[in-house]
A and B are shown apart, each in its own frame.
Chain A
């Protein structure tokens, strides 16, 4: 390990994003468009209007949940790439509650549906966690497998047992209104405030609470201490009386619950029914978000907002410049994962060299 000055921890993520965006700019240039203009359109589209901001925050909400999910597992020393499947199972959990108990009043049904989302995701992550902890099955492989199994299971259920009668689409019947999270526009209207109608809903507030809760959990509780200790050195943790196996299962279940809560945004907040492939890659964006946010909820919130801007801005951009499709976001996502994850050592090294050149104190340990 190398000692690095404190400010580097803040500068590095920014440098990573700058490198990733610069590389994406080169790609835009290569396909014959103006990168500066493209970036202008994207940012205006994402932040230039109340409507755009609503969509941006809506996308960011999902990314906060999936980013926190990856981060919690990371702190326990595990790489959960199953966020996508866990989100799908979260949707299933929410849908089962909402469809089974349609007559309950909302103060009971809505919390139950949210709990269903968390439990669905938690269950889908706890199994790979248990297999890792007690059977030694590598969690990266099993969570990949579980993504595919979840996808297949959802298609099966939506094509068969859960399909709305008389519909050809892969979707369930609509939930009772009591099971739906209110949109922020509706909430604001009650207080006489006029907001543009966007998919932004109450799960945005839940995402903010989740950030705080994860911070408290990881850095202010006994369990969080156990999780971090296991992540840093499982043998030392065992020596200190912490069971790495137990902590692994718990951390993975919590991680899955957070990924499952992503479904509250899309399913309880927007669709009001369970649809196929609703996670739309948000589970994977969570990896980039967690890496860029360096596992800290504040960083994850910032990174999720950036990816929200990219998602909404990219949509606007592809509308105005058909040559630049929304797949550009996937490229940027890959670049961010590459530079802030895999090539982190290189960027850090560059930062340290630069720091020394600038004459600051950056003493290698």
Chain B
């Protein structure tokens, strides 16, 4: 029984750790499906995390914080769009620039405004997104297995966790069942055809980049005002890149993206738990091996040894309308 409880606790923490990955991974999916490679997920989330915590430190309302986070992230997304769509700049270079800008700006501004080495003040409970206990969670605990799973793993997260999970079907629907989604995907596969149909590739790509901004805003706000109680410099700690790995791992599809993020979240949860532990027959597993596993798996996948990950055909290339 204690093994079961330990597993539930690990799954519970996997859900929490997977949430920012889901937001960022879906953001990347929107952007890259429309043809704009986004390695600036990390920077956008970091900017959002800072903006959310900074606002909430002044006005203790998590919804305002979320809005601020989304605003900051969208501002970064607009810069990315301006450089890569309006000026046909290199998408990788632009993403890198945003990551550096976010890392530097948040630390400089945080230090100047709050004087705590870049941290924002610790946030009180009311200023954060609290945990929601789903109906019947306490009653369900009496039911063996399924009840415990419901009470421990599914119930008891913040609203943002549930919105992350709801965004997966929403993304799948918008992307694959609406005209807008079809057009977005077309501008990521064959932008010339979209333009021939009389649509503006630039406008479509801007809309996708902005959606990515909104989603990264959620992810960043989750980090600083739901999962933690305040901003810490570099608190994204590579999550934007793990999300990128998850996106490749999911082959740019929404439901597999959820699976990949949960898997990487679970690995993260296990890395914390297995610190110093020893498994029968294997011996002590170095924590670093588990931490590096998402990256190693992604490289193996990219190498085509377990299926093939093919990105949207036109992603990474600026669309230039006129032939000169």
Q: Could you list which residues of chain A lie within 8 angstroms of chain B, going by C-beta atoms? A: 27, 31-32, 79, 81, 131, 135-138, 140-142, 144-146, 148-149, 152-153, 155-156, 159-160, 284, 287-288, 291, 323-325, 327-335, 337-338, 341-346, 349
Contacts and interface: CB of A to CB of B under 8 A. Distances in A.
Contacts of B291: 152
A64 B104 CA distance: 22
Contact of B83 (A152, A160, A335, A342): A342
Given A137-B304, A338-B83, A81 B101 contact: no
Contacts of A81: 92, 96
Interface in B216-243: 233, 238, 241
B84 interface: yes
Contact of B100 (A135, A148, A284, A343): A284
Contacts of A342: 83-84, 87, 89-90, 93-94, 97
B109 A131 contact: no
B245 interface: yes
B304 A325 contact: no
A57 B88 CA distance: 36
Given A32-B112, A323-B112, A342-B90, A145 B299 contact: yes
A138 B311 contact: yes
Interface of B: 37, 39, 79, 82-84, 87-90, 92-94, 96-105, 107-109, 111-113, 118, 233, 238, 241, 244-245, 248, 286, 288-289, 291-292, 295-296, 298-299, 302-304, 311
Contact of B97 (A137, A153, A337): A337
A145 B245 contact: yes
A288 B295 CA distance: 25
A328 B288 contact: no
A31 B107 CA distance: 12
B6 to A, nearest CB: 25
B89 A153 contact: no
Contacts of A138: 302, 311
B76 to A, nearest CB: 11
Decide if the interface of chain A is mainly helix, strand, loop or mixed: helix
Nearest to A318: B111
Nearest to A291: B93
Contacts of A136: 304
A341 B100 CA distance: 13
A137 B244 CA distance: 14
With a 10 A CB-CB cut-off, give which of B90, B108, B299 has the most chain A CB atoms.
B108
Given A135-B304, A327-B108, 15 more contacts: A131-B302, A136-B304, A144-B39, A146-B295, A149-B292, A152-B289, A153-B288, A153-B292, A331-B104, A334-B102, A335-B101, A337-B93, A341-B93, A341-B94, A343-B94
Contacts of A155: 288
13 contacts: A81-B96, A140-B39, A141-B244, A144-B39, A148-B295, A152-B295, A323-B112, A329-B104, A330-B107, A334-B97, A341-B97, A342-B94, A343-B87
Contacts of B248: 141
Given A131-B303, A287-B96, A330-B103, A345 B87 contact: yes
B30 to A, nearest CB: 18
Given A81-B92, A337-B93, A142 B299 contact: yes
